[in-house]
């Protein structure tokens, strides 16, 4: 594992029985860095994030393969894939934490929020109930909940969605993890609240230097917070690049399709080209097309090339990876 990385994921795969949900994903994360993981529903982005913490649903025959090396705060390197259930419990919450999409359901409706936030502190730092509550109040204050001390006794249903997501963030960050996995944390929120939450996450990240793996399908959010972007399609990484590069010179036709399907704030009025949808739909994971999994929907499809061999992930430029047999032609056509 390279020095100065927090998370090094290598050839990571998750299979549900014969169904490959995530195939051969590799990436690294440095302290203070935000990697956005983008893709449509079913592309494997959530399974990747859950799989790294081994929180995938307990279905039979769920297999996780590859490596996910995490450097803990003390500098020890642990392979999360090989770690025992006991070790994972010690790591979750303390070294790596997670926040979820739906703040309505990710807090337990029967416990006051203060106790829920304090819980991680009690597991990992052995704090007393009282000390944990005191610290929970500070955390709630930190995530911008006004009058935090009085809110300790509030139940989740008494808070709004944005407030609940703030509580979730406080809960996840209670033990100052080195890695935060955020699984679409703003998708269920109003746009104005989204902006507040993103801002909060960035502020906290600057403070704690944690690495963030940010899963989203919202390209606007990506532009806002990410340092690097990884695009997934049908369980595979199809493009990975620094955020500017990805927005300005996308190479994979799928990424280009994604970018063309949303309005760009940097084009005004007449400059805005008409929005285009990507034709077709995601392939059946049990019957993937031969060769490149995007080939049936691709405008640059070349018979004999794209439908024979699955293209490898190639370095188009330093730091810019693309999985496309024709990326050079695609780049030229733009």
Partner 1 sequence: MSTSASPVAAAQVIRPRGPSAFRRFARHRLAALSLVLILSLTLACIIVPPLLPFSDTEIDIMQRFAGPFTGPHLLGTDPLGRDTLARLLMAGRISLSVGFSAMAISMVIGIAVGLYAGFYGGRIGAILMRFVDAMLCFPSIFLLLAISAFLQPSVGSIIMLIAATSWMEVARLVEAQIRALRARDFAVAARAIGANDRRVMFRELLPNAVAPIVVAATLNVAHAILAESYISFLGYGIQPPTPSWGNMLENAQSYLTSAPWLAIIPGAAITLAVTGFNFIGDGLRDALDPRQEAR
Q: Which residues bind partner 1 (CB under 8 A)?
A: 50, 53, 55, 57-58, 60, 89-94, 97-98, 100-102, 105-111, 119-120, 123-124, 141, 144-147, 150, 157-160, 162-163, 168, 171-172, 174, 196, 199-200, 202-203
Cα–Cα distance measured from residue 19 to residue 155, given in angstroms and rounded to the nearest whole number: 39
Write out the H or E segment, with its range, that includes residue 79: strand 77-79
Per-residue DSSP letters for 298-333?
Answer: -TT--TTTTTTSPPPPEEEETTEEE--TTHHHHHHH
Nearer to partner 1, 103 or 250 (CB): 103
CA 286, 292, 295 angle in degrees (round to 5)? Answer: 100
Least separation in angstroms between residue 48's CB and partner 1 is: 15
Least separation in angstroms between residue 216's CB and partner 1 is: 17
Nearer to partner 1, 226 or 246 (CB): 226
Least separation in angstroms between residue 154's CB and partner 1 is: 8
Q: Looking at the chain, how many residues does it have? A: 334
Nearer to partner 1, 24 or 119 (CB): 119
Least separation in angstroms between residue 118's CB and partner 1 is: 11
DSSP state of 269: G
Nearer to partner 1, 166 or 245 (CB): 166
Q: Which two tokens stand for residue 320?
A: 């810019």
Nearer to partner 1, 56 or 240 (CB): 56
3-state secondary structure of 78: strand
Nearer to partner 1, 50 or 325 (CB): 50
Strand order in the sheet with 19-29: 19-29, 7-16, 62-71, 77-79
Least separation in angstroms between residue 104's CB and partner 1 is: 8
- Dihedral sign, CA of 190, 192, 193, 199? positive
Least separation in angstroms between residue 222's CB and partner 1 is: 19
Q: Which two tokens stand for residue 103?
A: 């703040």
């Amino acid at each position: 594992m390279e020095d100065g990385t927090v998370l090094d994921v290598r050839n990571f795969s998750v299979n549900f029985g014969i169904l490959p949900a995530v195939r051969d994903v590799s990436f690294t994360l440095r302290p203070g860095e935000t990697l956005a993981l983008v893709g449509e529903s079913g592309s494997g982005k959530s399974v990747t994030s859950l799989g790294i913490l081994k929180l995938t649903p307990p279905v039979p025959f769920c297999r996780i393969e590859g490596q996910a090396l995490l450097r803990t705060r003390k500098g020890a390197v642990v392979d999360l894939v090989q770690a025992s259930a006991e070790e994972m419990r010690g790591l979750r919450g303390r070294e790596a934490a997670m926040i979820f999409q739906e703040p309505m359901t990710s807090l337990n409706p029967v416990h006051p929020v203060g106790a829920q936030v304090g819980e991680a502190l009690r597991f990992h730092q052995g704090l007393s109930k009282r000390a944990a509550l005191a610290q929970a109040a500070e955390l709630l204050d930190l995530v911008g909940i006004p009058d935090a001390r009085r809110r300790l006794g509030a139940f989740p249903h008494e808070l709004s969605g944005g407030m609940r997501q703030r509580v979730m963030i406080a809960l996840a960050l209670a033990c100052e993890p080195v890695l935060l996995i955020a699984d679409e944390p703003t998708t269920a929120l109003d746009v104005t609240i989204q902006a507040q939450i993103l801002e909060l996450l960035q502020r906290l990240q600057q403070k704690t230097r944690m690495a963030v793996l940010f899963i989203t399908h919202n390209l606007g959010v990506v532009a806002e917070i990410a340092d690097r972007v990884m695009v997934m399609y049908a369980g595979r990484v199809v493009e990975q690049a620094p955020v500017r590069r990805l927005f300005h010179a996308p190479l994979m036709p799928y990424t280009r399709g994604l970018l063309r399907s949303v309005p760009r704030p940097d084009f005004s009025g007449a400059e805005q080209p008409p929005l285009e949808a990507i034709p077709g739909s995601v392939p059946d994971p049990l019957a993937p097309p031969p060769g490149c999994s995007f080939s049936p929907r691709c405008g640059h499809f070349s018979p004999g090339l794209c439908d024979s061999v699955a293209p490898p992930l190639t370095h188009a430029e330093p730091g810019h990876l693309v999985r496309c047999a024709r990326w050079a032609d695609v780049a030229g056509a733009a």
